């Protein structure tokens, strides 16, 4: 885990865990390609030949059978299937009502508050250069980017990779090199196995963070995304709508077509 100058006590918490190695840095997140430089270095050094899951602190990994099978089962199965990378789209979760009302307490499951999501408003196109899919949509696109859909944040992610020293993420975990690793999707009409990263972004902490990041400008495109949030609704949106789905479990996400079991049974 890399701690980028946090001030919420997270560092102390992590330091007390027996199974976490902690690195710290006070440098700018943006200057290190959204922190990817730090992680790529660590992965090259320690994760060569191992399955590596790369996530932000607000991303929660969901994969088929995650309630009954540990991640090692997934890794073993992917190994046996000769698959090197595993896709997990970012799924923005949000509360019912203004996000400022979803007051998160330390230790709480964030999805007790932000338990809703958009089931079917995602647009996909193929990036011919890198061969990855470019996915946009969800509540962020409809609430913040209706006027400039092209700039809506990318949701495609490839966070789980059988790492090799030669690999490198290109932009966050959206794309990876070599390009073959980006083919986490089937092109003949079948479905490859995939998961989701539940995104615990829309809690009461969102407004302050949006304002702060907009000024700091460390994020992708100098924090353009955060400037958009800050401009709108004073960054206190109500993303909930009549058709929002309430999260139950991975099977629900699978039936809705957001992720797939593929041929893992």
Cβ 173 vs Cβ 54: under 8 Å: yes
Return the closest-CA partner of residue 103 out of 230, 207, 173: 207
Neighbouring C-beta atoms of residue 125, cutoff 10 Å: 9
Please identify which residue in 104, 122, 220, 247 interacts with other proteins, judged by CB under 8 A.
122
Q: Does 49 bind other proteins (CB under 8 A)?
A: no
Q: Which CB, 29 or 60, lies closer to other proteins?
A: 60
Neighbouring C-beta atoms of residue 212, cutoff 10 Å: 13
Please identify which residue in 100, 115, 156, 228 interacts with other proteins, judged by CB under 8 A.
156
Please identify which residue in 95, 138, 153, 237 interacts with other proteins, judged by CB under 8 A.
138
Q: Does 260 bind other proteins (CB under 8 A)?
A: yes
Q: For the CB of residue 83, give the shortest distance to other proteins in the complex, in Å.
A: 10
CA 168/CA 176 separation, integer angstroms: 6
Q: For the CB of residue 247, give the shortest distance to other proteins in the complex, in Å.
A: 14
Q: Does 193 bind other proteins (CB under 8 A)?
A: yes
Size of the site for other proteins (CB under 8 A): 60
Q: For the CB of residue 62, give the shortest distance to other proteins in the complex, in Å.
A: 13
Q: Which CB, 19 or 147, lies closer to other proteins?
A: 147
Q: Does 129 bind other proteins (CB under 8 A)?
A: no
b/e for 38-62, b at 16 or more Cβ within 10 A? bbbebbeeebeeebbbbebebbbbb
87: its two tokens: 């896709």
* Stretch touching other proteins by CB under 8 A, among 32-40, 81-89, 167-175, 205-213: 81-89
b/e for 79-111, b at 16 or more Cβ within 10 A? eeeebbbbbbbbbbbbbbebbbebebeeeeebb
CA 191/CA 222 separation, integer angstroms: 36
Q: Does 162 bind other proteins (CB under 8 A)?
A: no
Binding stretches for other proteins (CB under 8 A): 65, 68-70, 72-73, 76-77, 80-82, 87-89, 118-126, 133, 135, 138-139, 141-142, 145-150, 156, 184-194, 241-244, 257-265
């Amino acid at each position: 885990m890399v701690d980028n100058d946090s001030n919420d006590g997270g560092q102390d918490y992590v330091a007390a865990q027996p199974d976490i190695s902690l690195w710290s840095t006070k440098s700018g997140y943006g200057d290190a390609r959204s922190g990817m430089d730090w992680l790529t270095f660590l992965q090259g050094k320690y994760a060569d030949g191992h399955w590596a899951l790369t996530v932000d602190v607000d991303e929660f990994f969901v994969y088929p059978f995650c309630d009954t099978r540990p991640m090692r089962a997934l890794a073993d199965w992917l190994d046996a299937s000769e698959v090197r990378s595993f896709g997990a789209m970012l799924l923005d979760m949000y509360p019912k009502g203004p996000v400022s009302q979803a007051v998160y307490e330390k230790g709480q499951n964030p999805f007790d508050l932000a338990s809703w999501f958009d089931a079917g408003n995602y647009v996909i196109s193929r990036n011919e250069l890198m061969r990855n899919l470019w996915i946009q949509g969800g509540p962020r696109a409809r609430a913040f980017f209706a006027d400039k859909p092209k700039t809506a944040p990318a949701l495609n992610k490839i966070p789980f990779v059988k790492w090799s020293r030669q690999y490198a993420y290109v932009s966050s975990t959206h794309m990876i090199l070599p390009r073959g690793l980006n083919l986490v999707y089937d092109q003949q009409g079948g479905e490859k196995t995939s998961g989701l990263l539940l995104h615990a972004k829309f809690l009461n902490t969102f407004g302050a963070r949006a304002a702060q990041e907009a000024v700091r400008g460390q994020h992708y495109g100098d924090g353009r995304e955060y400037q958009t949030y800050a401009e709108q609704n004073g960054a206190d949106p109500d993303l909930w709508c009549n058709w929002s789905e309430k999260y139950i479990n991975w099977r629900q996400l699978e039936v809705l077509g957001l992720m797939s079991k593929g041929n893992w049974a």
